[in-house]
Structure 1
């Protein structure tokens, strides 16, 4: 198994941190302190290192400390006995800079997948409860970490989709339709959509049995669960897509394609979104995230970084015990977790025989 460790992180004007330095252990790193102190922001800084963007604020300037002009995140990683420094820096009005081992990326997408990471946060139940976009985002995140080529396909498709939608909007505003103007977009988007859909289907073949095994453990083998990949990208997609022209014209946007796909979560044949209890939805989400972790680990031959935000407060005793058992069994690699109640974390983790480090956060002191 390939070894990767985040040794330290150094923040400058990132979110609510004017300056902060943290050094980490191989095992469990706990960020403790009252709500609003910056625990989740610290997890987000680690997430930023893996994805070159925030998990919560897509607009980079929103991650700069109030009234400042830039932020930077510096870190050192130990990768296969090599020490590699990473930098992410954003300055107002300038291009974002991301360097790995001193070399700046021309395209940020080249970095995705280099640092596999799984994050579990309280709002993850939105994956089950909210619109299809949340479920696509979850599985696309996994696919992009697994395969750089998939990321390129998705970026190209979304770029063309944006342009095609702008053209359709102009048709609607002028009340004038032109199939000839749409044709170049159709010819480029159709093969991309078919390839992306094929990759999503392949992922489900590998993902589903792993997910079902975790869910079985979490639910004491009481329920049969499934995930159906719902797409209109079929063998007749080329003609179907072109057959939507008039509908696209009337609505001023592209009404068919992989951006409309969904993943239907089922328990005993019924949609979990509509009929699942709160407990079932939480088990579904935990199983999804653990399956994501296992698939990344087996494919990359490397344990992903695991970020756990406020899990002791949001999960029930049964699901907490399950995660703690996995920690104790050594299933995970380096872990970063947050908790507003220090004594609770210390009590939960004291029985786990691994290196632990507790950071009691206070913005009035330097780190």
Structure 2
């Protein structure tokens, strides 16, 4: 699968743009703030129906305009596919594939798989467990539509149970039978999610380890571990044991919404003891493992988007990364960098052709 053409109208800092891409490596070069990352975000929209950086769709409309349109022409399994996203201020987002509008955006997820590597990904390491669960859910959802529906159902059930706990605290009226019904619903969807996460992590961890060993020349010992309350005890029993605490705190304190990933380097927390370069290598290995997992599950190469990838990586890891992603196991790649000279030199060294677009203030200039 590859993206042949991208068209934009009033998207972020672009009034209008049309770009024709190479099926291999494409690079956007220019100063910070020129709009390079916005092009990656437009591609992300076409794949996952939303911005990678900002969940508020209306804020993607160019200042002073009333709407935006993004359209992409894909080639997938030798078939042409047109995907478009449009939004008018104060109206519902429209998402279409081959001119047919989706009734549920979830039905589009996974059809055009994509992996994005961005400086923002550092939140996976330094922020709370929600960021790491979101990462896991994003990977699984692109291969399993039923999983995404299950997560949405679990979150609804969790909100309902929490609302009941607050009501009990407010009124003092406790109906064990009603709470038991809510618990059963939460356990049913929670167990399904847990089993899928557990199976996924068994495969994913092995792939991650392979990628990190390659990037670091096997010089560092890192570990990625899946943590869940359900690994130690049955979910229904956990809810019973935590009932008193839940009533005091007025929220559900155990369940798969407490799942986490732990990252260590040489047995120590990566967040505290990993250098910036080691943290970035860890993140890149995570995302490359995501790419490999999606590739195996889908049977074709996802898109790979690399935003400001060279910052904080030494020359050896930069060379190995570009050599790796330019290999035959990877498909179409999009890269942003402030230096055209650096892009040219790197791909000349590894003998891979790259199409370079010069970006300046929302305008697409020369390409080679």
**Normalised by the size of structure 2, how large is the TM-score?**
0.93
Aligned pair partner of 2:230 in 206, 219, 233: 233
> What is the alpha-carbon distance in structure 1 between the residues aligned to residue 104 and residue 69 of structure 2?
18
Aligned pair partner of 1:148 in 145, 150, 167: 145
CA contact 1:33–1:360 (8 Å) conserved in 2: yes
Aligned pair partner of 1:189 in 183, 186, 189: 186
Alignment partner of 1:257 is 2:255: yes
Aligned CA RMSD, in angstroms, stands at 1.9
Q: How far does residue 177 in structure 1 lie from its aligned partner after superposition?
A: 4.2
Alignment partner of 1:77 is 2:94: no
The secondary structure found in structure 2 opposite 1:311 is coil
| CA separation of 1:248 and 1:70: change in aligned 2, threshold 3 A | farther
CA contact 1:26–1:355 (8 Å) conserved in 2: no
Aligned pair partner of 2:128 in 110, 114, 131: 131
Alignment partner of 1:122 is 2:119: yes
| CA separation of 1:14 and 1:179: change in aligned 2, threshold 3 A | farther
The secondary structure found in structure 1 opposite 2:349 is coil
**2:58 alignment partner in structure 1:** 61
Alignment partner of 1:209 is 2:206: yes
Q: Alpha-carbon deviations, 1:56-79, whole Å to 9, x = none?
A: 111111111123222111111111
CA contact 2:215–2:321 (8 Å) conserved in 1: no
| CA separation of 1:365 and 1:264: change in aligned 2, threshold 3 A | closer
**2:282 alignment partner in structure 1:** 284
User: Within 5 Å, which residues of 2 pair with 1:16-95?
Assistant: 16-95=13-92
Q: How far does residue 256 in structure 1 lie from its aligned partner after superposition?
A: 1.2
Q: How far does residue 173 in structure 1 lie from its aligned partner after superposition?
A: 4.3
Aligned pair partner of 1:13 in 10, 17, 33: 10
- The farther-off stretch of 335-344 and 122-131 is 122-131
| CA separation of 1:340 and 1:159: change in aligned 2, threshold 3 A | same
CA contact 2:347–2:353 (8 Å) conserved in 1: no
The secondary structure found in structure 1 opposite 2:287 is helix
The secondary structure found in structure 1 opposite 2:331 is coil
| CA separation of 1:233 and 1:61: change in aligned 2, threshold 3 A | same
> What is the alpha-carbon distance in structure 2 between the residues aligned to residue 314 and residue 232 of structure 1?
35
**2:310 alignment partner in structure 1:** 312
Alignment partner of 1:295 is 2:299: no
Aligned pair partner of 2:357 in 345, 359, 364: 359
Where do 4+ consecutive residues of structure 1 move more than 6 Å? none
CA contact 1:177–1:249 (8 Å) conserved in 2: no
- The farther-off stretch of 135-144 and 278-287 is 278-287
Q: Alpha-carbon deviations, 1:265-324, whole Å to 9, x = none?
A: 123333222333333222211111111111111111111100000112342222211112
CA contact 1:310–1:337 (8 Å) conserved in 2: yes
> What is the alpha-carbon distance in structure 1 between the residues aligned to residue 174 and residue 12 of structure 2?
47
Q: Mind listing any 5+ residue stretches in structure 2 that lack a counterpart?
A: none
The secondary structure found in structure 1 opposite 2:310 is helix
Q: How far does residue 239 in structure 1 lie from its aligned partner after superposition?
A: 1.9
Q: How far does residue 353 in structure 1 lie from its aligned partner after superposition?
A: 3.8
| CA separation of 1:314 and 1:174: change in aligned 2, threshold 3 A | farther
How many residues are treated as equivalent by the alignment? 364
Aligned pair partner of 1:267 in 262, 265, 268: 265
| CA separation of 1:66 and 1:163: change in aligned 2, threshold 3 A | farther
| CA separation of 1:223 and 1:32: change in aligned 2, threshold 3 A | closer
Q: How far does residue 8 in structure 1 lie from its aligned partner after superposition?
A: 0.8
> What is the alpha-carbon distance in structure 2 between the residues aligned to residue 71 and residue 168 of structure 1?
43
